[in-house]
Amino acid sequence: MPIQIKTAEEIAKMRVAGRLAAEVLDFIAPHVKAGVTTGHLDKLCHDYMVGVQGTIPAPLDYTPPGHRPYPKSICTSVNHQVCHGIPGDKVLKPGDIVNIDITVIKDGFHGDTSRMFLVGEPSIQARRLCEVTWECLWKGIAQVRPGARLGDIGHAIQVHAEGHGYSVVREFCGHGIGRRFHEEPQVLHYGKPGQGVALEAGMIFTVEPMINAGRRDIRALGDGWTIVTADHSLSAQWEHTVLVTPSGFEVLTVSAGAPSMPAFVTASGAATAATP
């Protein structure tokens, strides 16, 4: 399928969907604490999306080719879980790190975002992994502008992660998004500058690096969805949905509680069109 260049009307609807997805993370943040099950977090998010926002949880019953239907409304990936962790009876404990991944559908358009949450006082190593992964997200986003290449995004992420001794998961990537959950292009989180598809104003895609503290190798659990690090090392991920504007980029998945854009992006001059 060709890359979809969004119209002004479609972009406006994507802004709404992106903001609503981010607001689910704002809502759930106070509930992410020791003693809570990931299944309870899922129920809270589901009820908020459906009952308060009037949105549809995109993951619920999502069935890509070769997969069984995803059984929950959010993804909760704890510690060495890389992505697609299924909420359930897992009880969060002090020191855990957890990624919560939210995708909502509003008026037919998807908003997709995730954040890392720290439970209690994680180790210095765990906290640093989350911080560097957040920096990787923004190192990638800062490359977005018309005429840049997808490889520029992946290269910036890879250099930053590996420069801190971490590894980049290669089996999963960012993706175009709009009326469909997953569209073209695929946005790799590693690569070479100047290679890949050239960016054009009106493209919308996610940037969502998954960074491991150990080796990049992963494996799938028997539930058919949950991905974990092969060496049981910690993994972290952050995600935003990004619009290519005529002068740079705009992050669509922002909300009152979303972490602010880092100073190094603002100082780079590449983010003139970014939403703070």
Q: How far is CA 153 from CA 49, 51, 104, 264, in A?
A: 31, 37, 25, 16
Q: What pLDDT sits at residue 106?
A: 98
Q: What pLDDT sits at residue 56?
A: 98
pLDDT band at residue 272 under the 50/70/90 scheme: very low
Is residue 266 pLDDT above 90, yes or no? no
What is the pTM (predicted TM-score) of this model? 0.95
pLDDT band at residue 276 under the 50/70/90 scheme: very low
Tens digits of residue pLDDT in 62-99: 999 989 999 999 999 999 999 999 999 999 999 999 99
Is residue 267 pLDDT above 80, yes or no? no
Q: What pLDDT sits at residue 150?
A: 98
Tell me the residue type at 76. Answer: T
Mean pLDDT value across residues 108-137:
98
Q: What is the mean pLDDT of the chain?
A: 95
Tens digits of residue pLDDT in 188-239: 999 999 999 999 999 999 999 999 999 999 999 999 999 999 999 999 999 9
Domains, the chain, with CATH or none: 8-268 (3.90.230.10)
* Tokens, residue 26: 């704002």
Question: Which 3 state secondary structure label does DSSP give 259?
Answer: coil
User: What is the CA angle 199-204-209, rounded to 5?
Assistant: 85
